[in-house]
Chains A and B, each alone.
Chain A
Amino acid sequence: MTTAAARATARLGLGISLVALAGLAAVYVLALVYTPVEARQGMAQKIFYLHVPAAWSALISFSLVGITSALYLWLHDPRLDRFAAASAEVGVAFSAIMLTTGPIWAKPIWGTWWTWDARLTLTLFLFFLFIGYLALRASLHDPSERARFSAVVGILGMLLVPFIHLSVYLFRTLHPQPVVLKPSAPSLPPEMLRTLLISTAVFTLLYVGLVTLRYGLGMAQDARDETSDA
């Protein structure tokens, strides 16, 4: 594994990310101009096309952190650890996006900045789990120890997610929220569904691009550490 390979990977990632960002701009236009305005929520509803895919990407990021962590503890392949770290960094960014866009949407609709709805709550927890994971990685300097410890946190975190879901579900069935409007309407008209799916595809592409970029940077970092230690 050379610095050249690292640079090539990072460039590939950057390329994909730029394409995805262009796609994101296109989604913006699509959502604002070409998609019908929702009757009850008005223009503010359109943040839904960003909000939902971002939350979804955060969940995918974390699940992949969990899965590659489990694989790492089994196979001890450092590439799995590098991937997990890259996925965590991208995931924390997506969570942060979701946690800032969520309140922006919530305020005009429900009159409050924050609600404890299932998706926001879950993303908040993912955010904290990511932060814990990254903080632990930052404070460990032996690569093998760092990989092992973060793998354990990754696996435990992945298994916490269903319990968070369950807690929120139990809480809500016993304390029905006064909110009438649900963030995701059960049946969407075809144009809205199309925009949502395109947006999800763009976010997935952005995830792939950013993780590839971060992975390439990780390769470069490891290559540099190796030469400086030897």
Chain B
Amino acid sequence: MPSRDGEPLLAARGLRRSFGRLRVLHDIDLSLAPGEVLAVAGPNGAGKSTLLRILAGLMRPTAGEVRVLGQPLTGDAARVRRAIGLLSHQSLLYDDLTLAENLAFVARLYGLARPAEAARAALDAAGLAGRADESPRRLSRGLLQRAAIARALLHGPRVLLLDEPFTALDAVSADRLRAMLEARRAEALGLVVVTHHLAEVWDVATRVAVMVEGRWVCDEPRAGPLERFLPRYREWIGA
């Protein structure tokens, strides 16, 4: 999908979200350029996951808008949804289908030509070719996440949203995940990583933002070591 130079991949303006009368997000703005890796941190219940769901198009904001490649993210059939990939903490895979069948189905959902081939190619690239005919329920957490990543990237999105991807990952899988993030960044995708563990994502991130009670308290380029950032971080989250 074409985008003009200088156009942010993902732009959100004035996002608000309420649940009943409870306001979770207050006038959130966000802009993501190609090759940016934005780490979003903050205490529990700050609204980070809600923000991610809105950016993914899974939740409608009460006010404000999201634009992907300049197109508004409204309407369920918006073609611009093809530009977004989501790695949730759940795998989004069906236990009763094999990995290959799962990915072929996703390929059909996104209207890809030759779904079965696209699925096999994606599994090969993820190093899961040998497990293609197995059910997701047989996979370890690390392998399952690899499959979920393959699923998220299958349709060639320009924006990848990740919700706490390092949770419960062993060190080897975490390294592999960081390498994957770095590779995507090099491909000029835009990444938003919601995380509790800044340490896991610090080196890959190009920008860091902190959300407290539905508001940004920080949105700056990632500069310097984590140790220098932590005291300010602790102050913001009131630790």
Contact = CB atoms under 8 A, between A and B. Distances in A.
Q: Do chains A and B touch in the complex (CB under 8 A)?
A: yes
Nearest to B59: A144
Chain A contact residues: over half helix, strand or loop, or mixed?
helix
B31 to A, nearest CB: 28
Interface in A135-150: 142-144
Interface residues of A, number: 10
A153 B197 CA distance: 43
A223 B22 CA distance: 10
Nearest to A230: B22
Interface string B87-101: 000000000000000
Contacts of B19: 142-144
A74 to B, nearest CB: 14
B20 interface: yes
Interface in B128-163: none
Interface residues of B, number: 4
Contacts of B22: 225-226, 229-230
B4 interface: no
Interface string B1-31: 0000000000000000001111000000000
A78 B21 CA distance: 9
Interface string A188-230: 0000000000000000000000000000000000110110011
Contacts of A226: 20-22
Contacts of A143: 19-21
A37 to B, nearest CB: 54
Which of B19, B20, B21 has the most chain A CB atoms inside 10 A of its CB? Answer: B20
Interface of A: 78, 142-144, 222-223, 225-226, 229-230
12 contacts: A78-B21, A142-B19, A143-B19, A143-B20, A143-B21, A144-B19, A225-B20, A225-B22, A226-B22, A229-B20, A229-B22, A230-B22
